Structure 1
Amino acid sequence: MPAPKIAILIESDFYEHEIWYYHYRFLEAGYDAQFVTRLWGNEAITFKGHEYHAPFECRGDLEALDDKALDDYAALIVPSGIVSDRLRYTDDLTRIPPASDLLKRAFAKPNLLKGIICHGLWLAAPVVEVVRGRRLTCHPNLHGDAIAYGAEFVDEDVVVDGDLVTARTGGHAHLLASTLIKMIDARQ
C-alpha cells in the first residue's frame, strides 16, 4: 500500500518550527509530505522563514493539483504564519486566488481531511462558504474573522468537525499533526 500523501502549503514568512515539524513528523509516520505553493512558472522557489529566515525550497505547484490529483491525498494542511495571507494574493480580482480555489475544491471532497492552523484561516476569506457553519478554532487574533466568516468559534487548542481539523496556533502543530495521523490511520 502506498504511503498516504499530505499536501502542505508553503510561502515566505512561514513559521519554521511548524514547517520543519511537519516535514519530519509525517516522514516518521510513513507519510509522503509534499509541500506545495504557487510557483509562478518557476521550477522551484526557496522561501525564507519568519523568525530565523531559514530557507525552504519548494518544487510542488499547487496549481497542478487538479481535482483528480487531489484524490491521491489524505490531507491538505494550511499552516500558520503569513503563508495563507501571501497565498491568497491574486492579480485578477474577478477570480478566486488559486490557493483559495484549491481550498474550496478540497472542501468539496469529504474524504480529504483539511487541516487549518492559526492564521491559516485567512486563506478561506475569498471562499467563506467552506467554513460557514463549521466548528473551528484559530489564533485569537482571528476570532472576529471566524465569526465574520460564519463559523462557530470554539475556544480549544484543537477542534475536529468531520473532515476539518483546526488548531489554535503554530505552537499546536504537534496536536494538529497527531490528530490528522490518527484520523488517517483509522481510515487505512
Structure 2
Amino acid sequence: MDSQAREQLIRAVAATIIQHSEELTALDQAIGDGDHGLNLKRGFEAVTAELPGLAEKPWPDLLKAAGMAMVMKVGGASGPLFGTFFMELGKTVGGEPDRTAVIAAFAKAVEAVKARGRSEAGQKTLLDVLVPVQAALAAGADAATLKAEAIAAADRTVPMQAIRGRASFLGERSVGHMDPGARSSSLIIATVADELNKQGLMS
C-alpha cells in the first residue's frame, strides 16, 4: 500500500466516523456521558489534519501518530483505549506487513486494550467487537466476512448488561442499548475492510 492508498484509507475511516458522530453520541447519551461521537470526531479530524504527510510515514510511525492523536484529542475512556490499540498495532506490525504480521499485531493490540481497560469480551465494550474480529481474521476471513462480523458483533452488545465503563453504573438499565464503543469500532473495521477490498488487498 503506497502513501496515496494509505491516505485514502485514513480519510475513509475519518469520514465514516464524522458521518456517524451524531449516532454515536446518541448511543452514548443512553448509557454513557454523551460525548463519544463528538470526541471521536475530534480525534479523527486531528489525524486527517496531518495528511498527506502522515500517510507518507511507514506503518509503525503512522499508527503511533494516529494513536497519540486519539489519546490527546479524544476524551473519556475512549481516547486511551483507541490510542492504545493503534499504538500497539504500530509497535508490532512492521513496515511492510503481510497478513501474518497483521494477525499477530491485531492480537497484541487487543491484549493491550484488555490490559488498559482491565476488561474482557462479554462486558459490553469495544472488546466485544475487537475479539471476534480478531478470531475471524486469524481464521482467514475475507474483507466482506470481517465487515459482517464487526457489524454483527456490535449488534450483539444490545442485550448485554454492562460490566465495565460508565454504563456499568446503570446495571440492568444498560440492557437494550448498543455499546457506543462497540459501534464505533465496528464502523472503523467495516470501513477498513471496504477500502482494502477496493484496493484488492483483502478480497
Same fold (TM over 0.5): no
TM-score (norm 1): 0.32
Computing the radius of gyration over CA atoms, which structure comes out larger, 1 or 2?
Answer: 2
TM-score (norm 2): 0.31
Whose helix proportion is higher, 1 or 2?
Answer: 2
